[in-house]
Amino acid sequence: MEIQQLHLSDPSGVERGLAAAASFAADLVLVFAGVRFFEHAGFAASLAAHFPTAIRIGCSTAGEITQTGVSDGTCVITLARFAHTRLRVASTVLQCMDDSFAAGERLAQQLTGPGLRTGIVLAPGVGINGSALLKGLIHVLGPTTPLAGGLAGDGGAFRRTFTLTPEGVSEHAIVALGFSGDHLVFGHGSFGGWEPFGPSRRVTRCSANVLHELDGEPALSVYRSYLGEYARDLPASGLLFPFAMVDEGRHELGLIRTILGIDESTGSLILAGDIQAGGYLQLMHANTDRLVDGAERAAESAGESAARSVAATPADQPATPPGLTLLVSCVGRKLVMGERVDEEIEAVRTRLASGETVTGFYSYGEISPFTPGVACELHNQTMTVFRLAES
């Protein structure tokens, strides 16, 4: 597996940057960039012109990630050439939020096939039910196919997000990439680092990702009572105080839900993913040190699961071959950490193999198994780590 990476600061420099790398015979062109790149006329056409035989996928972000840390409004293009791995791309147009489950099924039907081992999914960050999307994918692929990826961002505005498919740039398309092959080495990790506060509350009325009542009271009223002075900045301040889903014994289920919007007329909260009727939610808050520790734990988990996949390859192969690590972290974490946000990227890098290439983005929802061997979930407020290499 060979990798080359470009980091461009302005849309006007895309053509020049791509021309400098055009001699690299890429199988995959993976793009994470600020909205202004996707809005720039000719962006997708330039990628297609310079890499016509490569699979070209990507999305807009709330921050771009490379080895050196986090950038805003830039463009990170990662070129990869595989020696043994087979790639299969799938895309579909999301008609509306209620189409999310069916869209997941459509994607999975294009991806499914002999030897599929893992995949990446990139979807719009607004107008979608990410939980339903994943349920549709799992309904066809089954719960044992691990997926990585996330929902696109637009710098925290929550207005217009974009994805890149082989057909071009879209506000409504979902794209997925499947990986097959016996030499594939991959691992997943996901961790939050948020701390609970206040009592857990029972979900007495909800509809998919809309939370209407907690303990029989309007959810918005309950939420505002905990936020105090932060309540005046809703819904933006909701990124700082997500909910953890907990069971009847008040044990965390490993899923966090971010507040994306509020409905004053009904007193409801619109969350980034589905919640369980009759389940329990507990408010969370964070400090930077805990979030950095969480990022490091996610990287450790990804490394451990990658090492297990290497164990099945011939003994003369290196134990931890360098490859590509995809980081998808939540925009809420970025807001909490502020100027210290680079620290969570550095924490991950300390756990990676020498020579590893890092790419990724800050998202409106992260896709990953919570732990290796379990079905994928839509996460909020986590750092997810996906390591990919060839033995």
Can you tell me which residue has the tokens 């909910």? 243
d(CA 223, CA 234): 10
Which residue ranges of the chain lie beneath pLDDT 50? 311
Residues 6+ apart with CB under 8 A from 86: 115, 179, 180, 181
| DSSP letters for 280-332 | EEEEEE--HHHHHHHHHHHHHHHHHHHHHHHTTS-TTS-SS---EEEEEEEHH
pLDDT of 354:
86
Q: Do 164 and 375 contact (CB within 8 A), yes or no?
A: no
**Domain locations along the chain:** 2-191+289-390, 195-285
Token pair listed for 55: 């699979």
pTM, whole model, 2 decimals? Answer: 0.90
What does DSSP say about strands 383-390 and 324-330: parallel, antiparallel, or unpaired?
A: antiparallel
pLDDT of 370:
67
Q: Do 72 and 106 contact (CB within 8 A), yes or no?
A: no
DSSP helix/strand/coil, 243 = strand
d(CA 142, CA 145): 6
Torsion of CA 32, 37, 39, 40, to 10 degrees: -140
Q: pLDDT (tens digit, 9 = 90+) per residue, 291-304?
A: 999 999 999 888 88
pLDDT of 93:
98
Alpha helix (H) residue ranges in 328-368: 331-337, 342-349
pLDDT of 324:
97
pLDDT of 39:
97
Q: pLDDT (tens digit, 9 = 90+) per residue, 199-255?
A: 999 999 999 899 999 999 999 999 999 998 999 999 888 888 999 998 877 777 778
pLDDT of 319:
56
Q: Do 330 and 363 contact (CB within 8 A), yes or no?
A: yes
Q: Do 31 and 58 contact (CB within 8 A), yes or no?
A: yes
